[in-house]
Amino acid sequence: MSQWIGTANQKYASYAMEELRRIIPGASFAQLAAGEVFLMTSPIAKTDTLSAILRQEPIFLRHIQPVDRLIEICGSANDLDELSAMIRHSRLAFEGKRAAVHIRRSSKSAFHYSASDTKGILDAVLEEIGAEPVVQQPDIILSIYAAADFLYAGFGAPRDMLSDWPGGAVRFQREEGQISRAKFKLLEAERSFSLQYASFRRALDVGAAPGGWTSLLLERGLSVTSIDPAEMHESLSAYPTFTHVKKNASEVKLKEAAFDLLVCDMSWSPMLMCRLILDLQYALTRDATAIITVKLMHRKPLQTIREVKERLETGFRLLKAKQLFHNREEVTFHLQRK
């Protein structure tokens, strides 16, 4: 048996739990933060549970951490002493590694210490046992969730937690002159799907206005053709590699096999989006990559995803589907043209 803290986007925890039930028969769940954070009790061991999750990664599970230690909150320095003791007891796991400490808390937690104070104390303990405290690119993460009455603490590699950000909440700094926050979705997709946009040459951005995704691809050195009847942001005209086709995508005739990357972040119904993307398939090179957001416009997101997957797989291979932190009522598909 093993226990885990799971996190999903707000309102989507129930779907993450449904996926986990299918992957790990006999798993049971308790809500810790309504619609977002939950405790999973798996009937199988930690290594077997983790292997099952990584083999069939759930779409709606944003982050997961093992519960290696359950500490009842005293509301005093004893809480920090217990966490420090856990690190010292697990010295071999941390020694010689770059180690990050992630602390999250529920609004009703009796744990009184701030994240920065807790991290400061635990970083000192990590240094004491020969680890290097870091914020970015850790080898191992100590993840702590402070619920109402208990601390749930566990450690593991970033890959095993599905993210190297606390709770999988990927944060990007807003830039001066940034066209839209939609850019963050494409940035997060690059990390989540292990892509490098600079490795592509020519991109097609469908439903591009006002140009948040187009701007990122232009910054990475790609030539971008953006299709949208609406106006694009004026700053994009400074790029000689930018082309705006001011039409509906269904009205456009493109050169065959001209693009090795297609991106689409349109607020269309899922089935209309599928038809449009499949109609544009001819403009993509063989094995071209596609990054597409799928809008979840009714109460059956798992069914919507299955239907979209079946439709798109007539022309594409689905490599991964994930609800990213910056997705809201949607998921992101990573596809490759057949």
List the domains of the chain with CATH numbers. 2-168 (3.30.2130.30), 182-337 (3.40.50.150)
- For the residues of 86-116, what is the DSSP string, one character each? HHHHTHHHHTTSEEEEEEEE-TT----S-HH
Q: Going by DSSP bridges, is the β-strand pair 28-33/37-42 parallel, antiparallel, or unpaired?
A: antiparallel
Which residues in 228-283 belong to E strands, given as ranges? Answer: 242-245, 259-264
What is the C-alpha separation between 221 and 239, in angstroms, rounded? 10
Q: Which two tokens stand for residue 24?
A: 């790990």
Nearest to 89 by CA among 125, 121, 39, 57: 125
What is the C-alpha separation between 334 and 263, in angstroms, rounded? 10
| 171: CB partners within 8 A, 6+ apart | 165
What is the C-alpha separation between 175 and 212, in angstroms, rounded? 12
| Amino acid sitting at position 224 | V
Q: Output the pLDDT for position 269.
A: 87
Q: Going by DSSP bridges, is the β-strand pair 132-133/98-105 parallel, antiparallel, or unpaired?
A: parallel
The one-digit pLDDT tens for each residue of the chain (338 residues) are: 999 999 999 999 999 999 999 999 999 999 999 899 999 999 999 999 999 999 999 999 999 999 999 999 998 999 999 999 999 999 999 999 999 999 999 989 999 899 999 999 999 999 999 999 999 999 999 999 999 999 999 999 999 999 999 999 998 877 666 677 889 999 999 999 999 999 999 999 999 999 999 999 999 999 999 999 999 999 999 999 999 999 998 899 999 999 999 999 987 889 999 999 999 999 999 999 999 999 997 778 999 999 999 999 999 999 999 999 999 889 999 999 99
Q: Which two tokens stand for residue 298?
A: 């009714």
What is the C-alpha separation between 199 and 178, in angstroms, rounded? 23
The catalytic site residues sit at: 295
- The DSSP symbol for 28 reads E
Q: Output the pLDDT for position 219.
A: 95
Q: Output the pLDDT for position 177.
A: 64
Task: Establish whether the linkage from the previous residue to 210 is cis, with ω within 30° of 0.
Answer: yes
What is the C-alpha separation between 225 and 262, in angstroms, rounded? 10
